[in-house]
């Protein structure tokens, strides 16, 4: 039996969703972005809403998300994705609109846009990938960088007195009445990825039911920025990120947990 | 039959936006243009035409909302005044880079900084020389009356969609706040989503159907691709110069002296020309209606006919540079303008024409309150 | 015909709305009009002025230095605009609160007790219509029926029941405006 005998449609047990393009991912091996992309696209595919979905890519590592996601997408200025998505959702109320943003984009430069889109309860989905560092620009400190964590702009570790505490954006927006669903997930194991996918699906269902804003934080790794192997970074994430950014639902059906 | 009304420039612009079938307006209040969003909110355009009006949390959010709706092929606009436009420039650069149609209105006030809320034309450089980052230009329309505040909305959207490029309506506090008679156009229907998709399916992000996915971005990490994008933009600007240049000549046929002025200054300068003619001075007025493209060739030709040119602007001397570039040193070119929110009077303009151009003598800074001339 | 007017007084006196009614009246008789306010922080109590032009031809500058008529309703405006009246032009003022009366002898000056008359009529808000009446007596540039049409256009419908009162105020102004003679200054 050679390879061609095995690679037959009837033998196939798993394939990547057709909503992911064949473009090679630009993410570092071991990075969580690929999984997060894939889960999002799987949900859109399974819900059969790809023709009615418009994605908004941020500035950061996932700026090129539109190269990988095989749907219509627009790319926003740094931090402004929630404003861009607001306008699309307001002028196309029947569409599914989501933003895909990193921690620098969403929790630093775009704080105002994030909070106000949430406060207005825009009927959109925000997927927020938090890896505690600025990946694309080469490992600078993010608003979510943990205390003592080293980065190229906190080379001796984040010091709370001068640099402030890591920002819990997710808890912050959960307190706004316009926000319907808030959860924090991760995608570093199959088990976690399955839960994250459920959360993403729940979020897009909320859009369908016009429930308002759904906010999904995905705590992820940045093995390059953290200067670790992928495995080490996942272990480090479990031991250090999760205690500060605990996984689980924060607000469900408009009610805080 | 179209309707005759007495309206402020800002109100006429807002009403024209509803009647032109604009899909959405995103803005943030700032004097002297707050009447635009106030009028829109009062008029319930959502009920009248289905137009979306939203007060954003900042000018930055507003321009990025414009970017979002423009990405989907909707007719979308924003308005602000100088400090707010400075904040919008990042978004305007993105709109230009991503080749999106949109209309931005600047009801200019004096600067720099927080400046003054009184009228000014000190945003000329910002409007026609880029403003934001990168190689781009805006098509710039300069209304000089309340009627044009109304008429230019449709014109601006026509250009924006013809070139898939952002268009700026450069007004000022005087035109925005004054009331004049305005002939309103009949209500146009907003185009349906089906029609929109039919027209803009080659580029707009409306959801991927049986076609390649559409992507709106201004990013090209490959330098050759980015250069090709810049060349594409430059081609559009060349075409604008050929096909969509607009200007108006008043009393130019026998003019020996020429005033160049746009917007509110053109109105005041026109009165100065009338006063000059009463005194037997053969003065004429060239009024650029588009500031980009600029009537370079017309000025070059007029320079053969006149003895000198005065550029009149409510600023410390900005458009005068383009006048000089256009006439290529054929005749003397001088600038006159008040700043700080002070509006020059027709008499001051005539005096400047006589002293700076006709008498070829520079006047010294006078300390008198009403006639200090820079 | 072109009439260039400045109306100046306190915010809250109805300066801007008086100008607006005048401009609307001009539109009613097919004239070109412009209405250019001073704007900004001049709210109630501060100074407010508006330049109104009515013309049979296209109006060039909406902003002017000198005027055919100045309607002056407080002392600050008198100090600022008395000199802005063209020689041979008209200055109309309400003497209420004026300590320095106009002194020019090359213009026609009229007094109208707008504040007093409006108070006597029991409605301070019609002050500006009394003044407008006075102006129209001196410069009948718009027909009364066009002013009433202008009033209808510039007032929202829920105030239309006040139109008779406003018309009455205009007539009162027309009847009560009087020429003012500048007396030679006596220096002691």
CA pair distance B201, B210, nearest whole angstrom: 11
pLDDT grade for C26, boundaries at 50, 70 and 90:
very high
In sequence order, what are the beta bridge partners of C72? Answer: C8, C93
Pair (B11, B134) in one structural domain:
yes
Q: Is B98 helix (H, G, I), strand (E, B) or coil?
A: coil
Q: Is some CB atom of chain A closer than 8 A to the CB atom of B74?
A: yes
How far lies B138's CA from each of B1, B87, B294, in Å? Answer: 34, 16, 12
> In chain C, where are the structural domains located?
2-179
Q: Is some CB atom of chain B closer than 8 A to the CB atom of C147?
A: no
Pair (B25, B137) in one structural domain:
yes
Taking CB atoms and an 8 Å cutoff, what residues of chain A touch B68? 56, 74, 76, 83-88
Q: Judge whether B365 lies within some domain.
A: no
pLDDT grade for A12, boundaries at 50, 70 and 90:
confident
> In chain A, where are the structural domains located?
24-256
**Is C2-179 CATH 3.40.920.10?**
yes
In this prediction, residues B5-9 reach a mean pLDDT of 96
pLDDT of residue B105 exceeding 60, the answer is: yes
Q: Judge whether B224 lies within some domain.
A: no
Return the CA Rg of chain A. Answer: 18
Q: Give the pLDDT confidence of A200-257 residue by residue, as tens digits.
A: 999 999 999 999 999 999 999 999 999 999 999 999 999 999 999 999 999 999 999 9
pLDDT grade for A3, boundaries at 50, 70 and 90:
confident
Nearest CA among B206, B201, B161 for reference residue B69: B206
Give the nearest partner residue to A90 out of B52, B58, B213, using CB atoms: B52
pLDDT of residue B361 exceeding 50, the answer is: no
Show which subunits contact C, needing at least 3 CB pairs below 8 angstroms.
B
Show which subunits contact B, needing at least 3 CB pairs below 8 angstroms.
A, C
Q: Do C61 and B174 touch (CB under 8 A)?
A: no
In this prediction, residues A40-64 reach a mean pLDDT of 97
How far lies A167's CA from each of A41, A105, B61, in Å? Answer: 28, 13, 22
Mean pLDDT of chain B: 95
B residues 18-57 near A, CB within 8 Å? 23-24, 26, 52, 54, 56-57
The pLDDT score that the predictor gives to residue C187 is: 59
Pair (B159, B261) in one structural domain:
no
CA pair distance C80, B370, nearest whole angstrom: 12
- Top pLDDT among B201 and C183 is at B201
Q: Of B44-48, B224-228, C89-93, C157-161, which range is least confident?
A: C157-161
pTM for the predicted model, two decimal places:
0.94
**Percent of chain C having pLDDT more than 90?**
84
**How many CB atoms neighbour CB C17 within 10 A?**
17
Q: Is some CB atom of chain B closer than 8 A to the CB atom of A57?
A: yes
The pLDDT score that the predictor gives to residue B2 is: 62
Instruction: Provide the edge-to-edge strand list for the sheet that holds C67-72.
Output: B3-8, B179-184, C32-37, C47-55, C2-10, C67-72, C85-93, C108-111, C178-179
Question: B interface mutation test: which of A18, A21, A82, A91 has the most B CBs within 10 A?
Answer: A91
Q: How many residues does chain C have?
A: 188
- DSSP symbol at B60: H
pLDDT grade for B368, boundaries at 50, 70 and 90:
very low
Q: What CATH number has the domain spanning A24-256?
A: 3.40.50.970
Q: Judge whether B229 lies within some domain.
A: no
Nearest residue of C to residue B348 by CA position? C65
The pLDDT score that the predictor gives to residue C41 is: 59
How far lies C113's CA from each of A238, C80, C92, C94, C131, in Å? Answer: 84, 21, 10, 5, 8
Q: Do B215 and A75 touch (CB under 8 A)?
A: yes
Q: Do B68 and A83 touch (CB under 8 A)?
A: yes
Question: B interface mutation test: which of A45, A63, A64, A87 has the most B CBs within 10 A?
Answer: A87
The pLDDT score that the predictor gives to residue C17 is: 93
Q: Judge whether B214 lies within some domain.
A: no
The pLDDT score that the predictor gives to residue A115 is: 98
The pLDDT score that the predictor gives to residue B362 is: 45
Q: Judge whether B205 lies within some domain.
A: no
Taking CB atoms and an 8 Å cutoff, what residues of chain B touch C61? 267-268, 270-272, 345-346
Q: How far is A101 from chain B (nearest CA, A)?
A: 15
pLDDT grade for A137, boundaries at 50, 70 and 90:
very high
- Top pLDDT among A200 and C48 is at A200
In this prediction, residues C63-77 reach a mean pLDDT of 96
The pLDDT score that the predictor gives to residue C40 is: 67
Tokens of B319: 């458009």
Taking CB atoms and an 8 Å cutoff, what residues of chain B touch A80? 60-61, 64, 67, 91
Taking CB atoms and an 8 Å cutoff, what residues of chain A touch B69? 87-88, 90-91
Give the nearest partner residue to C35 out of B179, B268, B347, using CB atoms: B179
The pLDDT score that the predictor gives to residue B370 is: 47
Q: Do A74 and B58 touch (CB under 8 A)?
A: no
Q: Judge whether B114 lies within some domain.
A: yes
Question: A interface mutation test: which of B61, B91, B229 has the most A CBs within 10 A?
Answer: B61
In chain B, how many domains are there? Answer: 2
pLDDT of residue A148 exceeding 90, the answer is: yes
In this prediction, residues C43-64 reach a mean pLDDT of 88
In this prediction, residues A164-192 reach a mean pLDDT of 97
pLDDT of residue B1 exceeding 50, the answer is: no
**Percent of chain C having pLDDT more than 70?**
94
In this prediction, residues A89-108 reach a mean pLDDT of 97
Find the CATH number of the domain harbouring B143.
3.40.50.970
Q: Note down the domain range covering B175.
A: 3-193
β-strands B139-141, B166-172 pairing: parallel
Question: A interface mutation test: which of B27, B52, B193, B208 has the most A CBs within 10 A?
Answer: B208
> Which residues have CB under 8 Å from B214's CB, separation 6+?
A72, B201, B202, B203, B204, B205, B206, B208
pLDDT of residue B369 exceeding 50, the answer is: no
CA pair distance B336, B314, nearest whole angstrom: 8
Q: How far is A66 from chain B (nearest CA, A)?
A: 7
In this prediction, residues C129-153 reach a mean pLDDT of 95
Q: B358 near B308, Cβ under 8 Å?
A: yes
Q: C35 near B180, Cβ under 8 Å?
A: yes
The pLDDT score that the predictor gives to residue A13 is: 84
The pLDDT score that the predictor gives to residue C45 is: 58
C54-89 burial: b if 16+ Cβ within 10 Å, else e: bbeeebbbbbbbbbbbbbbbbeebbebbbebbeeeb
Pair (B169, B277) in one structural domain:
no
Q: Judge whether B89 lies within some domain.
A: yes
pLDDT of residue B110 exceeding 90, the answer is: yes
């Amino acid at each position: 039996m050679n390879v061609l005998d095995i690679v037959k449609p009837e033998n196939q047990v798993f394939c990547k969703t057709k909503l992911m393009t064949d473009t090679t991912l630009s993410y570092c091996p071991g990075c969580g972005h690929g999984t997060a992309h894939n889960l999002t696209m799987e949900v859109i595919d399974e819900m059969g809403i790809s023709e009615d979905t418009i994605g908004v890519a941020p500035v950061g590592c996932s700026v090129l998300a539109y190269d990988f996601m095989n749907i219509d997408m627009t790319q926003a200025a740094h931090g402004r994705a929630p404003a861009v998505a607001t306008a699309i959702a307001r002028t196309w109320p029947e569409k599914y609109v989501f933003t895909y943003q990193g921690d620098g984009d969403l929790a630093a430069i775009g704080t105002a846009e994030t909070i106000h889109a949430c406060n207005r309860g825009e009927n959109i989905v925000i997927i927020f990938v938090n890896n505690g560092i600025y990946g694309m620009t080469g490992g600078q400190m993010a608003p979510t960088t943990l205390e003592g964590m080293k980065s190229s702009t906190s080379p001796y570790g984040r010091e709370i007195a001068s640099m402030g505490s890591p920002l819990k954006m997710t808890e912050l927006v959960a307190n706004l009445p316009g926000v319907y669903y808030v959860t924090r997930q991760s995608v570093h194991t199959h088990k976690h990825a399955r839960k994250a996918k459920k959360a993403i699906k729940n979020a897009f269902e909320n859009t369908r039911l016009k429930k308002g804003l759904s906010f999904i934080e995905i705590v992820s790794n940045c093995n390059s920025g953290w200067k670790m192997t992928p495995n080490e970074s996942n272990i480090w994430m479990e031991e250090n990120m999760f205690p500060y950014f605990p996984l689980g639902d924060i607000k469900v059906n408009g009610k805080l947990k | 039959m179209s309707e005759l009304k007495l309206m402020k420039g800002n109100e006429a612009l807002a009403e024209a936006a509803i009647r032109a079938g604009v899909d959405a307006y995103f803005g943030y209040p700032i004097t002297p243009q707050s009447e635009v969003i106030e009028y829109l909110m009062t008029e319930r355009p959502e009920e009248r035409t289905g137009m979306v009006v939203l007060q954003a949390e900042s000018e930055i959010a507003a321009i990025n909302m414009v970017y979002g709706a423009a990405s989907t092929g909707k007719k979308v606009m924003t308005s602000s005044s100088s400090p707010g436009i400075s904040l919008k420039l990042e978004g305007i650069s993105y709109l230009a880079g991503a080749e999106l149609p949109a209309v931005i209105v600047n009801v200019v006030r004096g600067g720099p900084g927080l400046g003054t809320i009184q009228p000014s034309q000190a945003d000329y450089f910002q409007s026609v020389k880029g403003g934001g980052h990168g190689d781009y230009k805006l098509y710039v329309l300069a209304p000089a009356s309340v009627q044009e505040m109304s008429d230019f909305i449709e014109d601006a959207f026509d250009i924006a969609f013809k070139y898939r490029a952002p268009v700026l309506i450069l007004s000022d506090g005087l035109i925005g706040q004054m009331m004049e008679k305005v002939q309103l156009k009949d209500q146009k229907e907003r185009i349906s989503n089906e029609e929109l998709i039919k027209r803009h399916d080659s580029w707009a992000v409306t959801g991927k159907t049986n076609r390649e996915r559409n992507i709106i971005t201004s990013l090209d990490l490959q330098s050759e691709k980015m250069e090709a994008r810049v060349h594409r933009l430059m081609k559009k600007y060349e075409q604008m110069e050929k096909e969509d240049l607009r200007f108006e000549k008043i009393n130019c046929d026998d003019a020996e002296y020429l005033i160049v002025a746009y917007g509110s200054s053109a109105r005041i300068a026109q009165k100065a020309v009338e006063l000059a003619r009463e005194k037997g001075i053969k003065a004429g007025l060239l009024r650029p209606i588009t500031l980009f493209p600029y009537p370079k060739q017309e000025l070059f030709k007029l320079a053969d006919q006149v003895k000198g040119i005065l550029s009149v602007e409510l600023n410390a001397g900005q458009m005068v540079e383009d006048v000089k570039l256009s006439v290529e040193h054929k005749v003397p070119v001088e600038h006159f303008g008040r700043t700080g929110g002070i509006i020059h009077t027709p008499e001051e303009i005539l005096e400047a024409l006589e002293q700076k151009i006709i008498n070829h003598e520079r006047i010294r800074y006078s300390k008198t309150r009403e006639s200090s001339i820079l | 015909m072109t009439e260039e007017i400045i109306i100046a007084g306190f915010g809250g006196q109805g300066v801007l709305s008086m100008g607006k009614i005048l401009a609307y009246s001009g539109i009613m008789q097919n004239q070109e009009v412009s209405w250019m306010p001073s704007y900004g922080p001049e709210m109630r109590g501060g100074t407010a002025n508006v330049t109104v032009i009515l013309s049979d031809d296209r109006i060039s500058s909406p902003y002017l230095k000198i005027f055919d008529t100045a309607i002056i309703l407080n002392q600050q405006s008198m100090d600022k605009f008395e000199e802005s009246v063209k020689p041979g032009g008209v200055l109309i003022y309400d003497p209420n609160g004026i300590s320095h009366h106009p002194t020019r002898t090359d213009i026609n000056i009229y007094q109208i007790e707008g504040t007093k008359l409006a108070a006597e009529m029991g409605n301070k808000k019609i002050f500006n219509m009394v003044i407008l009446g006075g102006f129209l007596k001196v410069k009948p540039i718009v027909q009364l029926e066009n002013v009433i049409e202008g009033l209808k256009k510039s007032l929202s419908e829920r105030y239309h029941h006040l139109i008779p009162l406003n018309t009455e105020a205009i007539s009162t102004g027309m009847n009560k405006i009087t020429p003012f003679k500048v007396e030679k200054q006596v220096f002691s």
